[in-house]
Amino acid sequence: MRVTDVDVHVVSVPFVHPETWRFGRMWGLTNAIVEVHTEEGITGIGEVPGSPLISLVRDALEATSGWIVGEDPFRISAFLRRASMRGWHHYPYLGNAAAAGIEMALWDICGKALGCPVHQFFGGLDTELVPFYWYIWVEDRTTETARKQAAEGVARGFKTMYIKIGFDLENDLALARAIKDEVGEHIAVRVDANEAWSAFEAVEALRLFEDVGVEFVEQPVNMHDIGGLADLRAKSRVRIGANQSAWLPWQVPEVLARRAADVVVTDPHQLGGLIPFRDAAAQCELAGLPIVKHAFADLGVTTVATAHVLGTLASPPLGHQQFVTILAHDILAEPVEFEDGALRVPTGPGLGIELDHEAIAFYEQVYRDYGEFEGYGPITPASPLPPDLRVPNR
């Protein structure tokens, strides 16, 4: 069997609520959906986040596609080596994402061809239900809204609450305390600073978070300062998660060796595929640290694909990241459904999911009409989409 073609669909899918982080406000996700076709009529699907710009991602996918067309889709490791050795190792953030999107589709092809789920290639399931967090978007940054949204997450069965911080420290603390007070001791509260503080500022910020009882603070300092992260961890009683500092394959062992974090938060798009993601998980397991799947602007395809690997790990104890609960549509024929805050890993052939092609066409038109959603856009009060835009209902 050989790969005959690779199709790329660019979609702009709105959020039902905007995401506000310290770099700006996002009104939705603009991603690339990948379909890899074979001569036997089997098609695999993958996904690539549109960061930093969808035009760059599309060009990267076009270049990378040439290294799999005409090749055996079962030789996935060989494809990843070709992608690396033909220049992407010099531009890893973009190249890894493109390679990961195609690799995801290749695993889907393998599973469909052999009649088994993707998780079987990674050793089979250790758990059928993979826990995820509840995203508290709190667009107005008030404690009343934070409490209300946290209560909704608990009512839907989620065991981990997540909120962006890194704005005003006093208000960040007030929001985290309000959420913790609302959900109680048995629900985890996680905060993500997104590199907001200098190493000097972070020492005091983490000291103030000690009495809140957060699960961990994600990426408190600059992503390139692994030494500063290690120094901060040595000074702090609050657990630290390394996210941006652990995006690339060589960074994960450095974070572990320098004891720079209590938790590693990373994802297959930054690492370069599900294989490198499983490799990173194995390193974390040896070091005795948990790994959390980072949501690098995921639609439904990536959420489910990564769950196939997460389900093979030894009972992942922490909630993983997701965007599905704030998306207007996950672009899947059967929507992602959480059971008490967890995702049941599909057992059908391949990834066990199919695209909703009507939704794909709709959101391709949204992209053509309104462009891409910026990940680093200004914090504006109004959506760039018209209020009368009708999105497909589930």
Domain boundaries in the chain? 3-116+355-370, 120-344
Q: Give residue 390's pLDDT.
A: 78
Q: In the prediction, which pLDDT does 189 show?
A: 98
Residue appearing with tokens 């504006």: 380
**CA separation for the pair 75, 132 (Å, rounded):** 31
Q: Which two tokens stand for residue 208?
A: 């103030």
The CA distance from 386 to 86, in Å, is 43
Phi, psi of 294 (to 5 degrees): -80, 140
Distance (Å, whole) CA 303 – CA 133: 12
pTM: 0.96
Report cis status (omega within 30 of 0) of the bond before 52.
Answer: yes
Place of tokens 């603070």: 217
Query: What was the pLDDT predicted at 102?
Result: 98
Q: What pLDDT shows up at residue 41?
A: 97
pLDDT tens digits for range 116-126: 999 999 999 99
**Per-residue pLDDT reduced to its tens digit, 200-259:** 999 999 999 999 999 999 999 999 999 999 999 999 999 999 999 999 999 999 999 999
- Angle value at C-alpha 219, between 27 and 214, nearest 5 degrees: 95
In CATH terms, are 3-116+355-370 and 120-344 the same topology? no
Fold of 3-116+355-370: Enolase-like; domain 1 (3.30.390)
Residue that has been written with the tokens 């609960």 in this structure: 325
pLDDT < 50: residue spans in the chain: none
Give the domain 120-344 fold. TIM Barrel (3.20.20)
What whole-number distance in Å separates Cα of residue 221 and Cα of residue 232? 9
What pLDDT is attached to residue 394? 67
